[in-house]
Amino acid sequence: MRKISLLFIFAAISLTGFSQKLNLNLFLGTSNYEGDMQANFFTFTQPGLAIGGGLSYQVSDRAYIRAGVTYASIAADDKKNPKVYFRNLNFKSDIQEFHLAGEYYLLTDEASKLSPYVFAGIAVYHFNPYTKDTTGTKYFLRPLSTEGQGFYQDRKPYSLTQFAIPFGGGIKYALTDNIKIGIEAGMRKLFTDYLDDVSTTYVDPNLLLTNRGPKALELAFRGSEIDKTATYPVVLTKRGEPRNKDWYYFTLVTLSYRFPALGEIKSGWDKPGGRKKYILGCPRK
């Protein structure tokens, strides 16, 4: 019985310490991408919605480990880009991402209510670009092999689930000991140029028609939809830029809640630039 009691006490102490270092994070904001249809590295044009949540654990005064899930959408349209208007391509894609990262805060909680930080880690994400034809029918682009993936030269079909490197930074403001709000900008370094289904050159239209059908040929070049005199480009004419991999990124408003330790009843700011926590059973000084 004594051993069981000691085990219970040890577990309670461990849970108290663990909960005090565990945070629930929620975030909402915009998503965007940089690639062959959106050349600007960081822009708020043609934005999508990003929403998600996760947990973080404090390992030191300035370091945290965090994990999170994000659901987002990205899109772009050649009609909004004068440089490639003639191509008339467009796409949309939903993105589901899981990331694991480390955060480093430049100031500790005890030093300031404002906490700037940077983060970096690894992520796994899933995407699936699609478009709609002139009748409004939705078509996923990967099965159409618009650049001959799977049957032309050495072009291979791209994977819809890949790794990425997330990194960025933000700043948080402590409303209370347990609640913080903030803003975060996070980039995602990708290892594919097919986030938008555009990368290299135009494939032979006869081969595309034979291997993937008339809809693939129709959606590989859509210039004739806005210019009736436009014809399918000459084989190997530049369609995208394979040397530059795609990116996507988030601009988020964040909300963090620290799970209080067992027995913690309230806390207060003892002086400007510092704070202390009042624990049940501990007298105030």
The 10s digit of each residue's pLDDT in 178-229 is 999 999 999 999 999 999 999 999 999 999 999 999 999 999 999 999 999 9
pLDDT at 264: 59
Q: Please report whether residue 189 resides in a domain.
A: yes
Q: Please report whether residue 46 resides in a domain.
A: yes
73 forms beta bridges with 94
Gyration radius of the chain's alpha carbons: 25
Q: Please report whether residue 27 resides in a domain.
A: yes
Identify the CA nearest to 262 among candidates 279, 275, 278: 279
Q: Please report whether residue 145 resides in a domain.
A: no
pTM for the model stands at 0.84
Q: Please report whether residue 280 resides in a domain.
A: no
Q: Please report whether residue 228 resides in a domain.
A: no
Q: How many structural domains compose the chain?
A: 1
Residue type, 164: A
**Domain housing 85:** 23-137+158-195+243-262
User: Is residue 150 within 8 Å of 207, Cβ to Cβ?
Assistant: no
pLDDT along the chain (285 residues), means of 10: 44 47 96 91 90 96 96 96 93 98 92 94 98 97 97 94 98 95 98 97 96 97 94 95 94 95 53 44 43
Q: Please report whether residue 216 resides in a domain.
A: no
Tokens of 223: 């210039």
* C-alpha triplet 164, 39, 132: angle, nearest 5°: 85
81 forms beta bridges with none
Q: Which domain CATH number covers 133? A: 2.40.160.20
Tokens of 239: 């369609």
pLDDT at 41: 81
Q: Please report whether residue 277 resides in a domain.
A: no
Alpha carbons 35 and 41: distance in angstroms, whole number? 8
